[in-house]
Amino acid sequence: MLYSIVIITFLIQICVSNASHSSTIIFRRKESVSDPQNWVKIGKPPANQTISLRISLPQPGFSTLERHISEVSDPTHLRYGMYLSKEDVESIVSPPLDSVNAVNLWLGDNGIKERDCHRSPAGDWVKITIPVAQAERLLNTTYYIWKHTVDGDVLVRTLEYSLPPTVYSHVTHIQPTMMFARLRCQALTLF
């Protein structure tokens, strides 16, 4: 009898353990970079500080768009001068419906409502603004505050991020996760 109770207890522990493991999401690293030159990590941002992320979806028709542009720009081509409308371009570069659906489901499962998703006209970019803590859970990463050692610019960035397998192939990249570039207006110099 005691032997049976021990066996049953052991089996229950295995079942509970397996149940908790099956709900664990396994992430795959999507992108990573080395420590950026001239930037120093100075701490963690507040968990409730917001960050805007731009999620890029695949554009399988981009090579088709390039072909169209080449044809309408070539004076020797039959389609020369037959430019595409804005709607035509958006249709060509729009992401596959399964990518849109996978990303929508992933965002929804992570508490991001459709009304909080701002999409490009072609639907190939989704912009969301969320608290840093939520972004860290979404991308299985840790954000830090970075300061430029030369001019003191400050950014919130990470050195890597990961995605669950359900959206891995449906997301091209997410910015500005690891982008340390500083875009500044340059004065025009005429020679």
Tally of structural domains, the chain: 1
pTM > 0.85: yes or no: no
Backbone phi, psi, residue 62, to 5°: -65, -40
Burial label for 102, CB within 10 Å (0-12, 13-18, 19+), is buried
Q: Is residue 78 part of a domain?
A: yes
Q: Can you give the pLDDT at residue 9?
A: 46
Q: What is the pLDDT along the chain (191 residues), one digit of tens a residue?
A: 545 444 444 444 444 444 333 357 899 999 999 999 999 999 999 999 999 999 999 999 989 999 989 999 999 999 999 999 999 999 999 999 999 999 999 999 999 999 999 999 999 999 999 999 999 999 999 999 999 999 999 999 999 999 999 999 999 999 999 998 876 665 555 55
Q: Can you give the pLDDT at residue 189?
A: 58
Q: Is the peptide bond before 60 cis (omega within 30 degrees of 0)?
A: no
Strand stretches in 20-95, DSSP E? 28-32, 39-43, 50-56
Q: Is residue 104 part of a domain?
A: no
Q: Is residue 136 part of a domain?
A: no
Q: Is residue 168 part of a domain?
A: no
CA pair distance 165, 102, nearest whole angstrom: 10
Nearest alpha-carbon partner for 33 in 161, 174, 181: 161
Domain housing 75? 60-93
Q: Is residue 148 part of a domain?
A: no
Q: Is residue 16 part of a domain?
A: no
Q: Can you give the pLDDT at residue 187?
A: 59
Q: Is residue 10 part of a domain?
A: no
